[in-house]
Amino acid sequence: MKVVKRKGTVKDKKEALKPVDDRKVGKRKAAPKAEKSSKLAKKDVNKPKRPPSAFFVFLEEFRKTYKQEHPNVTAVSAVGKAAGEKWRAMSNSEKAPYEDKAAKRKSDYEKLITAYNKKQENGSDDEEGFDRSKPEVSGENDEDEEVEDDDDEDDD
C-alpha cells in the first residue's frame, strides 16, 4: 500500500495558498485520498459517478478558454480560482445554460443510479450488463451540445 501522505510539505504549500478564508465550508479537500481509495476499493466501481454541478459544467468550458488565454498557467488551482471568481460574477441568466446542462446530466444520473440500485437488489453477479465505460448520455441528450455560448468568456 502506497499511502503517501506528504501532508508536511503540501500543507506548507496549502498554508501559503489559503488566503481564501471566506470559503463556504472551509475546504473539505482535507479528505485524505488514502481513505478515499480505501473507500473506493470497498465501493462498487460500477456505481455511476455523480453528475457535475452547474459550476463543473461551466468549469469544463472555462478550462479550455483559460488554457487558451493562459497557456503558461497549467495549475488546476489557478484555473479553479479563476473559475470560481467568474462564476460568482456571473448573473443567473448567464448561469442558466450551465444549470440546464447540469440538470440534464442529473436526470441521466438518476436513471443510472436507479438501474444500479436495481442491479444491487437483483444481485451483482453480472455487472457486465452495466457498461458505464460508455457515455450513457449519448443520443438522448443531443441538445446537450448546443451550449456553445462562447460569448461568455469575453473577459478582458
Position 13: which residue type?
A: K
- How many distinct helices (H) and strands (E) make up the chain? 5, 0
Site string for DNA, 115-144 (x = CB under 7 A): ------------------------------
Measured in whole angstroms, the distance separating CA 132 from the mean position of its chain's CA atoms is: 17
Which of positions 89-118 make contact with DNA (CB under 7 A)?
A: 99, 102, 106, 109, 113
Piece of 25-33, 119-127, 137-145, 147-155 that binds DNA (CB under 7 A):
25-33
* Contact flag: residue 11 with DNA (CB under 7 A): yes
Site string for DNA, 33-72 (x = CB under 7 A): xxxxx-xx--------xxxxxxxx--xx--x---------
* 73 contacts: CB under 8 Å, gap ≥ 6: 66, 67, 79
Q: CA–CA separation, 93 vs 86, rounded Å?
A: 14
CA atoms within 13 A on the CB side of 108: 22
Q: Among residues 106 and 153, whose Cβ is nearest to DNA?
A: 106
Report, in Å, the least distance between residue 93 CB and DNA. Answer: 14
